[in-house]
Structure 1
Amino acid sequence: MDPNAAFRIAIRPLTSADIEQCVVLEGLGFPPEERCSLEKFQYRIGACPELCLGLFYREFNPPYEHGNRLNRQFAKIDGSATEVDEEDDNLDSCDLPGQSTIKSEQLIGHIIATKMGSDLVTEEAMMMPQNGSNVSESGKTLGHVETSRVIGIHSLVVHPDFRGLGYATWLYVDYMHKISQQQVADKIALLAKESLLKLYVDKLHFRDLGISKCTFGGVEWHDLVADVQGGDEDYE
């Protein structure tokens, strides 16, 4: 692992240009029956890009590649400037680039979400509108509901090569802070397997409501919910 990896990490909203990488990452993170399809990525990121967040590993063009002021400033995970020792700063303070210094971005984690017409994640919440309507034949709301105050996270995944380093927590904490600051929701809900309850309940402060009625992918899930806080939570 790159010893300067933290300076290369950036979190930003996903766009349509990132969808191809999202599909690849989803394939690395989930079995086929649980993956988000290309069509659902296009729908979800198109309908509510502000609710879909990506964690990127960036490489920079010289001379911004070696942890100097601009590299750290652009790659700091919370977007803020980083203090740099004088001997490590090989750039004149006015030597600003005329264009982006980013050479490449690898998507290593993402959160894909929509607003839901229910308090818990349901089969209908994970579907897309059909024939131009977001109401099913049984009268249930499908897909994204812009007026809702409940966010349903459909995917939180980190690339296998970057697991065990706390990146899932970093991504979620940043996500929660953004949602709180924007005041776009009061609650976040998701489905999780029992093997992941330690992450979501112990570290990310979700409440486990027990076995879900949703059987997406033929899997047993737990319904988890978390209140949108003011951004001062003590995450581990």
Structure 2
Amino acid sequence: MNLGTPIQCSALSELGSFLRPLSVTDVDSCVIVESAFSESERCSEEKFRYRLSQTPELSIGLFINDGGNDRLIGHVIGNRISGGRVTEGSILMPENWRTLAHNKAFIEDGQVIGNDPNGTAIAVHSVAISPEYQGKGVGKAMVAAYIQYIKDAKISAECIMLIAHDYLVRFYESTGFENCGNSHCQFAGGGWFDLASFLIVPGFCIY
């Protein structure tokens, strides 16, 4: 997919919708969309700035034409991880990220914090849709488009991983993800499931 790629979704057919990679200039809009989550699960403004500075190619935004202006109504935000599943460390952000080289991992207590430049998998940390567009197939279309975007852009990765609550497992399975079981991640109280979309070798992320 290239800049301004149309999205196939009937609920958005008359709204001039399109997808494009995100950058730090989109941080404020991402914060607004992210407010759809409970406060304990939201990505902060600083963390958005970190992720969109480190791995902008792994994040896309869904926009509509709103009175002549492009408005973000959904996003998928990712970074790189090593190993098979999303870790609590990968969800965090190095305190010194502004002075940390992009090609250098920050390791604390034996685990990589935030983006792992040498990671062979993609961890999606946020899939968000503005409330007024939820329940209309928009999220499903966006997630499916994200998987296709990663493939079309020839981004090197064995799989795309994410964690989800039990009530969202079927949703992600409908977009091509596989349920890998209970997650060890205790972010925001735990209770998550690991899901994977395999890009190269099926089963790579399961251990």
Runs of 4+ in 1 over 3 A off after TM superposition: 130-137
Structure label with greater radius of gyration: 1
Is 1:113 equivalent to 2:67 in the alignment? no
**29, 38, 43: which one pairs with 1:31?**
38
Query: For residue 69 of structure 2, what is the aligned residue in structure 1?
Result: 104
**30, 50, 55: which one pairs with 1:48?**
55
1:118 positional shift = 2.7
**83, 89, 92: which one pairs with 1:127?**
92
Alpha-carbon distance in 2 for matches of 1:175, 1:5:
17
Change (3 A) 1:114 1:215: same
Is 1:223 equivalent to 2:188 in the alignment? no
Relative to structure 2, which stretch is displaced further, 215-224 or 169-178?
169-178
Q: Is the 8 A contact 1:21 1:107 kept in 2?
A: yes
Change (3 A) 1:178 1:218: same
Alignment TM-score, normalising by the size of structure 2: 0.82
1:141 positional shift = 1.1
Is 1:19 equivalent to 2:27 in the alignment? yes
1:57 positional shift = 1.1
**132, 145, 150: which one pairs with 1:174?**
145
Change (3 A) 1:4 1:140: closer
Paired residues for 1:200-219 under 5 Å? 200-201=172-173, 203-219=174-190
Alpha-carbon distance in 2 for matches of 1:224, 1:51:
17
Q: Is the 8 A contact 1:153 1:190 kept in 2?
A: yes
1:4 positional shift = 8.4
**Structure 2: which amino acid aligns with 1:152?**
A
Identity among equivalent pairs (%) = 33
- Alignment root-mean-square deviation, CA: 1.8
1:127 positional shift = 1.3
**126, 133, 137: which one pairs with 1:162?**
133
Q: Is the 8 A contact 2:11 2:136 kept in 1?
A: no
**Secondary structure in 1 matching 2:112:** coil
Alpha-carbon distance in 2 for matches of 1:21, 1:56:
10
**169, 190, 193: which one pairs with 2:165?**
193
1:206 positional shift = 1.3
Aligned pair count reads 183
Alpha-carbon distance in 2 for matches of 1:166, 1:129:
35
Higher strand share: 2
Alignment TM-score, normalising by the size of structure 1: 0.72
Deviations 1:5-48 (A, max 9, x none): 414111111122211011011112x1111000111100001111
